[in-house]
Chain A
Amino acid sequence: GAVVSQHPSWVICKSGTSVKIECRSLDFQATTMFWYRQFPKQSLMLMATSNEGSKATYEQGVEKDKFLINHASLTLSTLTVTSAHPEDSSFYICSAWTGLGYTFGSGTRLTVV
């Protein structure tokens, strides 16, 4: 079936540095990717929708300058957390529409120290 590969699965970074998370569609072309954030014991909240070759659409309250999304090809979307702070520590998950359904990456656990 259609698979989205997300890397890294976990990352620890120092406060003030930037972290890039990648999501690749392995056997299909993902015109649209969705980025979610999940705080401990909470649900997934949509952060932004990225469309190949165009600017991402951010949900209300999400800082677009802090969470940079790039969707330069039909198989790769990246989320960069810039100048990370401890409050950005969370579980980030990407998702893509395969044509038949939504498939999710395995998630990235970000810890900012």
Chain B
Amino acid sequence: AQSVTQLDSHVSVSEGTPVLLRCNYSSSYSPSLFWYVQHPNKGLQLLLKYTSAATLVKGINGFEAEFKKSETSFHLTKPSAHMSDAAEYFCVVSDRGFGNEKLTFGTGTRLTIIP
């Protein structure tokens, strides 16, 4: 069984300051992990994914995440927040990462950017 816990339901940061969105996972296998972003009434856009290659993963729009097996974490970071980053972010796990598998979504973190 797999699960994802997003530790913060809401994060607020000032524009230009760092962003940290926390995610812990549980998986029976070597998981694949993803971060998706969703703007209001829109579909999901992939920010980045980890699939057992480099543990530090760089994504789009300046986001990156580090896979830490010892801590079962996959936190999302960005050095400097931009107003356009305001959205809902989902941490997602796939048990085997082979594709065509069930994805398990975290409960989401709403990121608010303060001007």
Contact = CB atoms under 8 A, between A and B. Distances in A.
Contacts, number: 46
A95 B103 contact: yes
Given A32-B100, A101-B46, A102-B46, A44 B41 contact: no
A99 B97 CA distance: 11
Contact of B49 (A42, A91, A99, A101): A101
A93 B103 contact: no
A44 B105 contact: yes
Contacts of A97: 99-101
Interface residues of B, number: 19
B100 A107 contact: no
A99 B43 CA distance: 19
A104 B42 CA distance: 10
Contacts of A43: 90, 105-108
A25 interface: no
Given A43-B107, A49-B102, A107-B42, 19 more contacts: A6-B43, A10-B41, A31-B100, A34-B102, A34-B103, A42-B108, A43-B90, A43-B105, A43-B106, A91-B41, A93-B44, A95-B103, A97-B99, A97-B100, A97-B101, A99-B99, A102-B46, A104-B43, A105-B43
8 contacts: A34-B103, A43-B108, A44-B90, A46-B103, A93-B44, A95-B103, A104-B45, A106-B42
Interface of A: 6, 10, 31-32, 34, 42-46, 49, 91, 93, 95, 97, 99, 101-107, 109
